[in-house]
Amino acid sequence: MRLMGCSKWRAALNLGHLRVQSKLSVFFTMIILFTYLFYCLNGYCDSLPRPVYDQQSNHQNKITLKDGASQQEKITHNASQVFREQMSDFSDGSSDNISIANTFGSKKFPQAIIIGVKKGGTRALLEFLRIHPDVRAVGSEPHFFDRFYDKGLDWYRNLMPRTLEGQITMEKTPSYFITKEAPRRVFSMSRHTKLIVVVRDPVTRAVSDYTQTLTKSPGLPSFQNLAFRNATTGLIDTTWSAVRIGIYAKHLENWLRFFPLSRLLFVSGERLVTDPAGEMGRVQDFLGLKRVVTDKHFYFNQTKGFPCLKKPEGSSRPRCLGKSKGRPHPRIPSEVLHRLRDFYRPFNLKFYQMTGHDFGWD
């Protein structure tokens, strides 16, 4: 009897241990699954090795239908259409709209690129565009067509965010506009690429450019010393990048050798400040997007002197551009500015003729 009691006690103890081990296994499995899901939702799964079947050619892993589309593409299209319809009422979201698990959508070359100009308002334009649920854009400047072209198109495409059917991929690198090789390289990628150029009064733009450089290099010579080759004769130094960038007509000629004017949209940097909704309407029309970004999204920040995005739902504060935007400019002698304006005048007039738009800088 005593032996039988001990056997029963041991069996019960073993059963208890098994139950505890089972619960612990389930617990740790759930932790691993939730951790993996968290990293995927934040886009970190892109760095994981792709399965072998995913690296094989399309004809091996897709069933082609009669109309030429695969079952996978059909499912993706239908799902994305429903998803975008459900998301259309949430256009006040942050720049990470449609940021979901990377099993949705695919990485594509950008259909539209903001190619210029530096200190013209390109960052503001991109941030305003990212409100739109059908726009997905790279956050940082890729500099592919001017600095990293040797890395290849596959490297470039891998930088792009994933997009669903009906969304467009975008990037901005303002230095493309003044890079001689950039037009040919973009054209080689796709002749159908839409190009956006944000332009601003070249005199104001040059001062803003100088101001930005001065914050990084406090020992920089004065603006007038850099702008003129000879202060007595008033000869402008066009080798200084702050001056050279503002000769818009010269740079545009390079782009028009490869792209028709209809492929370019010229956005006024001044109007982007005074009437952001109106200028954004033009941009959305050019991109073939529904006018989702409207005046309800903006308010003017008197302190910064720039429009800001109104507080998105669920956010504790409105979204304004960084501290570097709207910084005060150093005082430049009026005579220097007048000489610089006289220098730019013929180039501005030619630019107006080329684009068919008078920006009113003179």
Least confident span in 42-46, 98-102, 215-219: 98-102
Q: In what helix (H) or strand (E) does residue 170 lie, and over which residues does it extend? A: strand 168-172
| pLDDT at residue 51, rounded to an integer | 36
| pLDDT at residue 302, rounded to an integer | 82
Task: Grade residue 72 by pLDDT with cuts at 50, 70 and 90.
Answer: very low
Task: Grade residue 260 by pLDDT with cuts at 50, 70 and 90.
Answer: very high
Q: Is 246 labeled as ligand-binding?
A: no
Q: What is the phi-psi region of residue 89: left when phi exceeds 0, alpha when psi lies from -120 to 50, beta otherwise?
A: alpha
Q: Is 19 labeled as ligand-binding?
A: no
Instruction: Summarize the confidence of residues 229-250 as an average pLDDT.
Output: 94
Measured over the CA atoms of residue 293, residue 137, residue 164 and residue 94, the dihedral's sign is negative
Task: Grade residue 22 by pLDDT with cuts at 50, 70 and 90.
Answer: low
| pLDDT at residue 264, rounded to an integer | 98
Of the candidates 51, 98, 54, the residue with the CA atom closest to the CA atom of residue 79: 98
| pLDDT at residue 150, rounded to an integer | 98
CB 220 within 8 A of CB 213: yes
Catalytic residues: 119
Task: Grade residue 86 by pLDDT with cuts at 50, 70 and 90.
Answer: very low
Task: Grade residue 318 by pLDDT with cuts at 50, 70 and 90.
Answer: low
| pLDDT at residue 111, rounded to an integer | 98
Torsion of CA 304, 308, 310, 315, to 10 degrees: -80
Measure the CA–CA gap between 57 and 207, rounded to whole angstroms.
53
Mean pLDDT of the chain: 80
For 219-274, the DSSP string reads: TPPPHHHHHEEETTTTEE-TTSHHHHTT-HHHHHHHHHTTS-GGGEEEEEHHHHHH
Give domain 112-203+241-327's CATH number out of 3.40.50.170, 3.40.50.1100, 3.30.70.580, 3.40.50.300: 3.40.50.300
- pTM for this prediction: 0.71
End-to-end CA distance of the chain: 110
Q: Is 327 labeled as ligand-binding?
A: yes
For the cut 50, the answer to whether the pLDDT of residue 61 exceeds it is no
Instruction: Summarize the confidence of residues 219-238 as an average pLDDT.
Output: 92
| pLDDT at residue 46, rounded to an integer | 43
Select the highest-mean-pLDDT range: 180-194, 217-231, 289-303: 180-194
For the cut 70, the answer to whether the pLDDT of residue 65 exceeds it is no
Task: Grade residue 31 by pLDDT with cuts at 50, 70 and 90.
Answer: confident
Q: Where are the domains of the chain?
A: 112-203+241-327
| pLDDT at residue 360, rounded to an integer | 96
For the cut 60, the answer to whether the pLDDT of residue 214 exceeds it is yes
| pLDDT at residue 281, rounded to an integer | 98
Name the percent of the chain lying above pLDDT 90. 61
For 267-335, the DSSP string reads: EEHHHHHH-HHHHHHHHHHHTT------GGGEEEETTTTEEEEPPPTT-SS-B---TTTTPPPPP--HH
For the cut 80, the answer to whether the pLDDT of residue 83 exceeds it is no
Q: Is 119 labeled as ligand-binding?
A: yes
For the cut 80, the answer to whether the pLDDT of residue 38 exceeds it is no
Select the highest-mean-pLDDT range: 20-29, 101-110, 188-197: 188-197
Q: Is 121 labeled as ligand-binding?
A: yes
